[in-house]
């Protein structure tokens, strides 16, 4: 790059920076295959472009807010919590969630056991309750180190785990999808489920963080 | 995609919660859902999840029947990684299909 220069507060950009190269102008093998299969399915009348668009919209509409509502209800409704921990798939139907061909397995964090989720094989994630996974969840770095050195991984998320707490990693390798039920933060007695849900982050439901303090 | 009901075409369950098991040390080709790092290791069944069509067959558009019982198996981190850094009680739970498990004697 010939345009190197020192950036200072006084530097007023009288010239153009060289454009950064696009990173989305080359299709990989699987991207080309996806397009080809999609075009074939449409050409054969098996799905329509509108159906594909609706499915994308439905996936985008799911997000951590849904998971947070489920967690907040479990914190405020002991009967629901019992159902959620016994058969998560059935319990989340209350929220209109259909787990499809997978099942929801909810694990509870306690003062003695801290749970976290990873999928070392690919990127299995509870999409039906949390939406699309964050990019880091799919990275090789997280996928390999979450099972190999979970405490170091947690530290990088700012989550310091005392030695006397058991760290339990769940490798989501098959038909279960996992949701972590975080510990309810102290100082929230009497809070409504709606207010509690604001303390529940996506990362807390993956198990790499605690719920927010009030 | 709907999958066939598994319960009426399933392999009988061999294990129950509390059973000591060892993961087969096998390296077949294909779509295998048993992580490499856990093969050959000893663990304890913590949940019997029921039968599921075998993903090693589903991946090739076969029905995956008879369905394989699926288990959640708990391992001690300190036994999987000799240089593991963390509490002695730290554990790892992995979902493993029955045909990857063998009975283990006393826990090692």
Contacts with B35 from chain A: Cβ below 8 Å: 120-121, 171, 173
Considering only CB atoms, A171 lies closest to which of B1, B85, B94, namely B94
Give CA–CA dist B77/B61, Å, rounded.
Answer: 35
Contacts with B1 from chain A: Cβ below 8 Å: 101
Identify whether B48 is part of a domain.
Answer: yes
pLDDT the model gives residue B1: 42
Interface of B with A in 47-76 (CB under 8 A): 49, 52, 55, 70, 72
| Mean pLDDT across A201-205 | 98
Which is more confident, A132 or A3? A132
Q: CA triplet B49, B54, B57: central angle to 5 degrees?
A: 170
CB proximity B3 to A under 8 Å:
yes
| Mean pLDDT across B41-59 | 96
Q: Taking 60 as the threshold, does the pLDDT of residue B81 lie above it?
A: yes
Contact A103 B72 (CB under 8 A): no
pLDDT in tens, A145-161: 999 999 999 999 999 99
| Mean pLDDT across A48-73 | 95
Give CA–CA dist A31/B97, Å, rounded.
Answer: 31
Identify whether B65 is part of a domain.
Answer: yes
Give CA–CA dist B53/A123, Å, rounded.
Answer: 20
| Measured distance between the N- and C-terminal CA atoms of chain B, rounded to whole angstroms | 42
CA distance A148 to chain B (A): 7
* Total domains, chain B: 1
What chain A holds in terms of domains, given with CATH numbers, is: 29-60 (no CATH), 63-206 (3.90.330.10)
Give CA–CA dist A169/A150, Å, rounded.
Answer: 7
Q: Taking 80 as the threshold, does the pLDDT of residue B103 lie above it?
A: yes
Contact A168 B1 (CB under 8 A): no
Give all strands of the β-sheet with A166-171 in edge-to-edge order: A113-118, A166-171, B91-97, B68-76, B42-52, B20-23, B101-103
pLDDT the model gives residue A38: 96
Phi, then psi, of B68 in degrees rounded to 5: -100, 130
Identify whether B2 is part of a domain.
Answer: no
For A49, the 3-state DSSP assignment is: helix
Considering only CB atoms, B49 lies closest to which of A165, A172, A176, namely A176
Q: Taking 80 as the threshold, does the pLDDT of residue B69 lie above it?
A: yes
Indicate the burial class of B79 (C-beta count within 10 angstroms; 0-12, 13-18, 19 or more).
Answer: middle
| Mean pLDDT across B28-49 | 96
Identify whether B44 is part of a domain.
Answer: yes
Mean pLDDT of chain A: 93
Q: How many CB atoms lie within 10 A of CB A127?
A: 17
Residue B74 structural domain: 7-103
Candidates A214, A180, A182, A209; CA nearest to A198 is A214
pLDDT the model gives residue A19: 81
The secondary structure of A102-154 as a DSSP string is SEEEEEE--SSEEEEEE-SSS----HHHH-SPPHHHHSHHHHHHHHH-HHHHH
Confidence at B6, pLDDT banded by 50, 70, 90:
very low
Identify whether B108 is part of a domain.
Answer: no
Contacts with B38 from chain A: Cβ below 8 Å: 171
Question: Is the distance from CB of A166 to CB of A114 less than 8 angstroms?
Answer: yes
| Mean pLDDT across B45-50 | 97
pLDDT the model gives residue A74: 98
| Mean pLDDT across B14-42 | 96
Contact B95 A171 (CB under 8 A): yes
| Mean pLDDT across A94-117 | 96
Question: Is the distance from CB of B63 to CB of B53 less than 8 angstroms?
Answer: yes
CB proximity A145 to B under 8 Å:
no
Contacts with A160 from chain B: Cβ below 8 Å: none
Give CA–CA dist B73/B57, Å, rounded.
Answer: 22
Task: Give the DSSP letter of residue B12.
Answer: P
Q: Taking 80 as the threshold, does the pLDDT of residue B75 lie above it?
A: yes
Identify whether B1 is part of a domain.
Answer: no
Token pair of A118 as six digits: 């990873």
Please state whether beta strands A103-108 and A113-118 pair in parallel, antiparallel, or not at all (unpaired): unpaired
Give CA–CA dist B14/A127, Å, rounded.
Answer: 32
Give CA–CA dist B16/B50, Å, rounded.
Answer: 11
Q: Which uninterrupted H or E stretch holds A131? A: none
Which CATH number characterizes residue B47's domain? Answer: 2.30.30.50
ipTM: 0.91
Please state whether beta strands B101-103 and B91-97 pair in parallel, antiparallel, or not at all (unpaired): unpaired
As annotated, the active-site residues of A are 119, 122-124
Give CA–CA dist A35/A214, Å, rounded.
Answer: 46
Give CA–CA dist A89/A101, Å, rounded.
Answer: 10
Give CA–CA dist A136/A91, Å, rounded.
Answer: 29
pLDDT the model gives residue A188: 97
């Amino acid at each position: 790059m010939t345009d190197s220069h020192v950036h200072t507060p006084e530097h007023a950009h009288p010239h153009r920076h060289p454009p950064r190269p696009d990173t989305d102008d080359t299709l990989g093998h699987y991207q080309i295959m996806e397009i080809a299969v999609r075009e074939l399915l449409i050409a054969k009348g098996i799905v329509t472009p509108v159906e594909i668009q609706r499915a994308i919209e439905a996936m985008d509409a799911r997000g951590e807010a849904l998971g947070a509502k489920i967690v907040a209800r479990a914190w405020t409704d002991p009967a629901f919590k019992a159902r959620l921990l016994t058969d998560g798939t059935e319990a989340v139907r209350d929220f209109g969630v259909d787990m499809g061909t997978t099942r929801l397995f909810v694990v509870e964090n306690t003062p003695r056991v801290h749970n976290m989720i990873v999928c070392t094989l690919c990127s299995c994630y509870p999409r039906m309750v949390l939406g699309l996974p964050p990019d880091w969840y799919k990275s090789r770095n997280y996928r390999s180190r979450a099972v190999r050195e979970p405490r170091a991984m947690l530290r990088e998320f700012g989550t310091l785990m005392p030695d006397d707490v058991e760290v339990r990693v769940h490798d989501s390798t098959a038909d279960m999808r996992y949701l972590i039920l975080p510990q309810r933060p102290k100082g929230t007695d009497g809070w409504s489920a709606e207010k509690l849900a604001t303390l529940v982050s996506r990362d807390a439901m993956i198990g790499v963080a605690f719920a927010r303090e009030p | 995609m709907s999958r066939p009901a598994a319960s009426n075409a399933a392999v009988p369950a061999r294990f129950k919660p509390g059973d000591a098991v060892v993961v087969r040390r096998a390296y077949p080709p294909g779509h295998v859902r048993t992580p490499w790092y856990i093969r050959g290791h000893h663990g304890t069944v913590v949940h019997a999840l029921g039968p599921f069509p075998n993903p090693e067959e589903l991946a090739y558009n076969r029905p995956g029947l008879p369905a394989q019982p699926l288990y959640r198996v708990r391992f001690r981190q300190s036994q999987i990684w000799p240089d593991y850094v963390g509490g002695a009680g730290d554990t790892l739970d992995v979902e493993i299909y029955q045909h990857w498990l063998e009975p283990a004697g006393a826990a090692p």
